[in-house]
Amino acid sequence: MSKPTYTVFVNQRFPDESANELLARSLAGHKVVYSRSLTTSNLATSSHDPAIDEADVAFGQPDPAAIMAAPRLRWAHLTSAGWDRYDREDLRAAMTGRGAIVTNSSSVYEDPCAQHALSMMLAHCRQLGASFDNQRGAKGWPAGPIRRESRLLTGQKVLLLSFGAIARRLVELIAPFGCDVVAVRRRPAGDEPVKIIAEAELDQYLPLADHVVNILPGGVATQAFVNAQRLARMSPHAAFYNIGRGTTVDQDALIEALNSKRIAAAYLDVTTPEPLPPGHPLWATANCYITPHTAGGHHDEFHRLVRHFLENLKRFGEGTALRDRVI
């Protein structure tokens, strides 16, 4: 029995040429249509290309309006874990109305992002930032104060803002530390391994947390979700982490909370804008530690993105459930 063949629209080109070659080689039995405006970033969508209208499958970061209108499109696979550009009622209605599917790449990014968050949490507990600041600055030997401020992650309280694939993996990674974990989720699935609370309950849990980990997606519903009022509810010894989207945080309020010592520290992998301009006050804010949107990065990231898509393409041809389905 011959394998099904599809017209595959591709609008992304990876920085790693060997990943592009793997994709092209693996799709040799299909008709591949490359967009005239290829994007190299998971954070940007390309402009509408009419070539998508002949496609059965789209791979990359296709224009949301284009995948809604594409008459033959049965499946769109996104090369990102975030999918807030596509989390729209009109797109959801258009795709489900014709039995089409949207998948993302959460499986590729859940481990690196969760490990990144864990590394930040441990760095905060063990006061690595203070030691590194001393190394780059005074070069003294402040063993006493650093030892006194050091903590164990063991048994601490962790509040997760959102509970998707990354948060679920983070819960698995911190399990050996015996942390008390609570998560906020808009639509509980019922199978979560931690206590789930509604947004309306957040104010009563914020003061209890040692670590507040923001993994919220972007979009209108989460704009400035972490605002001055919520930061004011946090404990002065608590740390805030953002590996979701920069737009979910009121950064002016965060700077004020850090400068006034209303919270102990902030660890940010995402900001708004990105790249963060060299003169932005976040760079110089005390106890604010920034990584340049690298939480999802890993040496074989682009190969894993291709292999994840190819696995789903095989499942698609077999009529079995696709991984990381979001619509």
Which helix (H) or strand (E) covers residue 13, if one does?
A: none
90 and 136 in a single domain? The answer is no
Rounded average pLDDT per 10-residue block, the chain, 327 residues: 88 96 97 92 81 97 95 97 92 96 98 98 98 96 98 98 97 98 94 96 98 95 97 98 97 98 98 97 98 97 98 97 97
87 and 164 in a single domain? The answer is no
Q: What is the CATH number of the domain that holds 156?
A: 3.40.50.720
* Residue 125, CA atoms < 13 Å, CB-side half-sphere: 17
pLDDT tens, 297-321?
Answer: 999 999 999 999 999 999 999 999 9
Catalytic entry in 17, 199, 201, 274: 274
Judge whether 274 counts as a catalytic residue.
yes
pLDDT of residue 37: 87
Structural domain range at position 203: 109-290
pTM reported for the whole predicted model:
0.95
pLDDT of residue 1: 56
What is the rounded CA–CA span in Å between residue 319 and residue 74? 12
Percent of the chain with pLDDT over 90: 93
What is the rounded CA–CA span in Å between residue 241 and residue 160? 10
134 and 184 in a single domain? The answer is yes
Contacts of 241 (CB under 8 A, 6+ apart): 117, 120, 121, 211, 212, 213, 214, 266, 267, 268
CB 67 within 8 A of CB 52: yes
Secondary structure of 124-168 as H, E, C letters:
HHCCHHHHHHHHHCCCCCCHHHHHHHCCCCCCCEEEEECCCHHHH
pLDDT of residue 47: 80
Catalytic entry in 168, 230, 262, 293: 293
140 and 279 in a single domain? The answer is yes
Catalytic entry in 230, 233, 245, 308: 245
What is the rounded CA–CA span in Å between residue 130 and residue 113? 23
pLDDT of residue 48: 85
Judge whether 245 counts as a catalytic residue.
yes
87 and 236 in a single domain? The answer is no
pLDDT of residue 42: 81
Residue 10 has a CB neighbour count (10 Å cut-off) of 24
From residue 66, how far is each of 9, 51, 83 by CA, in Å?
12, 10, 15
Residue showing tokens 């030691």 = 131
Judge whether 25 counts as a catalytic residue.
no
